[in-house]
Structure 1
């Protein structure tokens, strides 16, 4: 009985080793074939650091009094196609899941605003005072980039990206100031002594966005890359029929992370 058990155990180990060897051989064959076709694959993860802001700052925003980055993760898979034998010029097609967010405080004057009162009523007009804003949006993004290899270890890339929003939050509150209902000379509604009023424009966020990005990738080890990419949104994060905020807001973020090259 013991001899049979040892026999079957040895047979199992042999079959497992054979299966793993075949899988490794298939993997190596796939990598070699891809290399001959000028294809490279990589996965990377990192953090987005930045904010959502008008460019330039409008006159209504008199001062930025506080800024706090939030934890915004990004996970991406890329395919690079090289067009020449020296692998100098190529194209990168990616698929990225990412968050973009921040918290910011500002002091504003005659800032167009719609707030929610204590009784749930909505008051719209021009706000003068403090504003605290929280932004947290999640996207499914597709970058399409031109690539240039400066050296065996350094690769530059630049091009457009498209983003599809999967969830979004743009909300906050106003404090220590007053609202002029309807227009800058309308009825004055004051919020003093720690009294605040909230606002929420999440339902007015645009579902599709696009922008441009540029970055650099450094091959630290044989399979380990370190990367940095600046992403700049080109269209407003709000829908075209949203009129409460009278200026466009753009997502501007730096993605810093590391990746594994196959």
Structure 2
């Protein structure tokens, strides 16, 4: 199933739930839930950020360009405010999100496995330019603690776990050379208008987790504006993948609107 179809299915699910709720005396149900400390929201936003080693290793000499691309998120969540003050609460839900970026960098002795023109693979140390495209979709479960500063401002922080639905980590190398197997191996030059592809998509791990923190602002009675920062804490690649010799972490800021029922 494509990313677009997943988003469409998610939207129709939310609409269906909302419609059924409306048919079963939605107003009375929501009032009763609010009296018992429950709140429900539907969120839509976009993310900007990237997947990066922290800190940048010596192999990456410079970042020549960066394009965050359009990364959309859709979420349904619920908050349980804790008695007696209802200042503190617990938030959880389901989020369908994408994490994207495109970068171009200059590297030296960068571990790489390229796909040759005949379909074969060459592994070694690359010196030159590297273009990278990351385009991943996730189903994410956040579990957050919420604090109500006042009637308009809420702060939230906690952890999240993500399962990858669609994955892509690919690109090409150009204007440089590959030393096969090690930094002193046979030299394979790729220069001029030539380039070679690489694709590590199948090496991305299925489960990722990290921390999340953010704030909500109630602009109108039911409409909120929010900003959340997510920071992955485990390497996006599988444990036995060693071509890229350093860990890479997804770090994204998500900004959007929420409708509170």
Q: TM-score with structure 2 length normalisation? A: 0.91
How many residues are treated as equivalent by the alignment? 242
Aligned partner of 2:12 in structure 1 is none
Aligned partner of 2:11 in structure 1 is none
Taking a change above 3 Å as real, the CA distance of residues 26 and 183 of structure 1, as seen in their structure-2 partners, is same
Cα distance in 1 for partners of 2:239, 2:30 equals 46
Cα distance in 2 for partners of 1:25, 1:111 equals 60
Cα distance in 2 for partners of 1:115, 1:143 equals 37
Classify the secondary structure of the residue corresponding to 2:234. coil
Cα distance in 2 for partners of 1:133, 1:104 equals 5
Aligned partner of 1:12 in structure 2 is none
Aligned partner of 1:122 in structure 2 is 121
How far apart are 1:87 and its partner, in Å? 2.1
How far apart are 1:33 and its partner, in Å? 1.1
Aligned partner of 2:68 in structure 1 is 69
Classify the secondary structure of the residue corresponding to 2:236. coil
Q: Does 1:252 align with 2:259?
A: no
Cα distance in 1 for partners of 2:67, 2:98 equals 15
Classify the secondary structure of the residue corresponding to 1:151. coil
How far apart are 1:37 and its partner, in Å? 1.2
How far apart are 1:224 and its partner, in Å? 0.2
Cα distance in 1 for partners of 2:22, 2:191 equals 69
Q: TM-score with structure 1 length normalisation? A: 0.90
- Pick which of 62-71 and 25-34 moved more: 25-34
Cα distance in 2 for partners of 1:224, 1:238 equals 38
Regions of 4+ moved over 6 Å = none
Gaps of 5+ in 2: 1-18
Cα distance in 2 for partners of 1:230, 1:99 equals 14
Q: Does 1:59 align with 2:52?
A: no
For 1:73-222, list aligned pairs within 5 A.
Answer: 73-222=72-221
Gaps of 5+ in 1: 1-19
How far apart are 1:93 and its partner, in Å? 0.6
Cα distance in 2 for partners of 1:27, 1:55 equals 47
How far apart are 1:160 and its partner, in Å? 0.3
Classify the secondary structure of the residue corresponding to 2:168. strand
Aligned partner of 1:33 in structure 2 is 32
Larger Rg: 1
Cα distance in 1 for partners of 2:23, 2:259 equals 18
Deviations 1:14-48 (A, max 9, x none): xxxxxx9x957821210111012100000110001
Taking a change above 3 Å as real, the CA distance of residues 142 and 23 of structure 1, as seen in their structure-2 partners, is closer
Classify the secondary structure of the residue corresponding to 1:244. coil
Cα distance in 2 for partners of 1:176, 1:25 equals 64
Taking a change above 3 Å as real, the CA distance of residues 25 and 142 of structure 1, as seen in their structure-2 partners, is closer
Deviations 1:125-147 (A, max 9, x none): 00000000000000000000000
